Amino acid sequence: MLKTARLLLALLLVPCLPCLAAPPVKVGFYDFPPSIYTDADGFPQGPMVEVVRKVFARAGYRLETRSLPSARIYAGLQNGSVQVWPGPAKEQLSEHVLVGRNRLAEIVLNLYYRPDTPEPRLPDDLQGRALVMLSGYNFVPDISRYLEAPELGIVQHRTSTHRAALEMLLRQRGDYLLDYAMTVDSAARELGVPVPPHVELLRLPVYFLVSRHQPDAERLLEALDSAYEALRAEGEDLVVTP
């Protein structure tokens, strides 16, 4: 009887032997500093990455982290080469992913303007203006509709980093900057300048998104959500802040 009890206890302490024996789950990240950034060796790091690692460890799954452009993450979720992404539930992915029940974080999209210019009236004041944006970023349909509207004639200036985008705005190489609050706050700290005034456009909750194009997608998502909830119940710090 004692041996049986010890065996049951040992089994309970092992999170999931089949999971640990399985190939690692491919998790995609794209740079969103300071929450997510790519280190000198090409691997994703940052507070959000650490939260994901904690959750995977608790769920009993190994993970393989990859730093990828957003377009490759979306394509990977659609064909199963990326199995998990912690991100917003975008409309173009709705047929290809399962969405977790826990909000991991929230990202805020703002329209920034210089202190020497008035607050813009949207969308009228965007007409014929130059808008600075990050290369490779896709926005929700409501925002994209304005960006592509022929009657507004918005001129898009794309750049590769959030810091460069903020510098372009401050140097008057664009009239407005479309970017996320967390990344602009980080860029402003790097440059030693105040965060420019802005208009909040929308808030996007971040969830675990699991590609449907893989075996046991439902089981994987349930394991991640349950592990996240267990960690929170134990008082683990899972808050992602700039």
Residue at 4 is within a domain: no
Asked if 212 contacts 82 with a C-beta cutoff of 8 angstroms, the reply is no
Q: Are residues 173 and 219 in the same domain?
A: no
Tens of pLDDT, residues 34-93: 999 999 999 999 999 999 999 999 999 999 999 998 889 999 999 999 999 999 998 889
Q: Are residues 158 and 85 in the same domain?
A: no
Tens of pLDDT, residues 209-218: 999 998 899 9
The CA-CA-CA angle for residues 98, 42, 97, to 5°, reads: 5
Q: How far apart are CA 218 and CA 202, in angstroms?
A: 29
Which pLDDT value is given to residue 12?
Answer: 45
Q: Is 179 helix (H, G, I), strand (E, B) or coil?
A: strand
Q: Are residues 48 and 112 in the same domain?
A: no
Q: Are residues 24 and 101 in the same domain?
A: yes
CA dihedral 92, 35, 229, 109 (to 10 degrees): -50
Residue 150 sits in which domain range?
Answer: 107-203
Residue 11 has pLDDT above 50, yes or no: no
Q: How far apart are CA 16 and CA 11, in angstroms?
A: 9
Q: Are residues 138 and 90 in the same domain?
A: no
Residue at 23 is within a domain: yes
How many domains, in total, are found in the chain? 2
Q: How far apart are CA 161 and CA 121, in angstroms?
A: 27
Q: Are residues 194 and 210 in the same domain?
A: no
Residue at 239 is within a domain: no
Tell me the whole-structure pTM to 2 decimals.
0.84
Tens of pLDDT, residues 139-176: 777 788 888 889 999 999 999 899 999 999 999 999 99
What are the E-state strand segments in the chain?
Answer: 25-29, 37-38, 44-45, 63-67, 84-87, 97-99, 105-113, 130-134, 155-159, 176-180, 198-211
Residue at 1 is within a domain: no
What integer is the mean pLDDT of 110-130? 94
Residue at 190 is within a domain: yes
CATH of the domain at 123: 3.40.190.10
Which pLDDT value is given to residue 139?
Answer: 78
Q: Are residues 199 and 211 in the same domain?
A: no
Q: Which long-range contacts (CB under 8 A, 24 or more apart) does 78-81 make?
A: 78/211, 78/213, 79/213, 80/211, 80/213, 80/214, 81/26
Q: How far is CA 159 from the centre of its chain?
A: 19
Greater model confidence, 136 or 207: 207
Q: Are residues 97 and 208 in the same domain?
A: yes
| Phi, psi for residue 200 in degrees, rounded to 5 | -75, 130
